[in-house]
A and B are shown apart, each in its own frame.
Chain A
Amino acid sequence: LAKTTQPISMDSYEGQEVNITCSHNNIATNDYITWYQQFPSQGPRFIIQGYKTKVTNEVASLFIPADRKSSTLSLPRVSLSDTAVYYCLVAGVNYGGSQGNLIFGKGTKLSVKP
């Protein structure tokens, strides 16, 4: 099972770019990388997903190096409302659609200050 390691916490200021790195040294060939955001008292919310290289959507970018042993979530110009916990999830699809390897780590608590 691919385990992930993220910084426990990060601080930033409004308007800055924030990069959160996740290490997943034993990622498998069929694993993909997904990032979620969670606010207090709410369920996680999908941010972005990728398999390799770079993926960008309207809220974030995801950078994955060639060896795929890490990934970096990039949040451009953060605001106070980006204060949340960010989870990196590395999981694959086994034969028959088995989902038993869906394991969330402890996440990174991002605090954005004025």
Chain B
Amino acid sequence: NAGVTQTPKFRILKIGQSMTLQCTQDMNHNYMYWYRQDPGMGLKLIYYSVGAGITDKGEVPNGYNVSRSTTEDFPLRLELAAPSQTSVYFCASRQGARGAQHFGDGTRLSIL
């Protein structure tokens, strides 16, 4: 099992560009999450999904969009990149609303 896979690992964007961060999991988990982590800080929840076709906002959703068309995939979309979105983005999944979240290795995004 690969677990949670995030692509790309690194990316540099210019202000105003758009991109999609990919996340896929092979554990058949129904819950999936997107977090961002700024230097020296904890993780902040951006969006989450409790199953295919269902998404909801977390603590910091502004500037992002998500979709969940399949159980496996949960892409995060940045439409108009801003310097404030420079961060490390982590995707996670778990089976059910409690228990261990399984995290990917992150996408390091810089917006210049």
Contact = CB atoms under 8 A, between A and B. Distances in A.
B59 A43 contact: no
12 contacts: A36-B101, A41-B105, A42-B105, A44-B43, A87-B43, A97-B50, A99-B31, A99-B33, A99-B58, A100-B58, A103-B42, A104-B42
Contacts, number: 65
Interface of B: 4, 31, 33, 35, 40-45, 48, 50, 56-59, 90, 92, 97-106
A106 B103 contact: no
Contacts of A41: 105-106
Nearest to A102: B45
A57 B101 CA distance: 17
A106 B41 contact: yes
A77 interface: no
Contact of A104 (B44, B56, B102): B44
Contact of A45 (B42, B44, B50, B103): B103
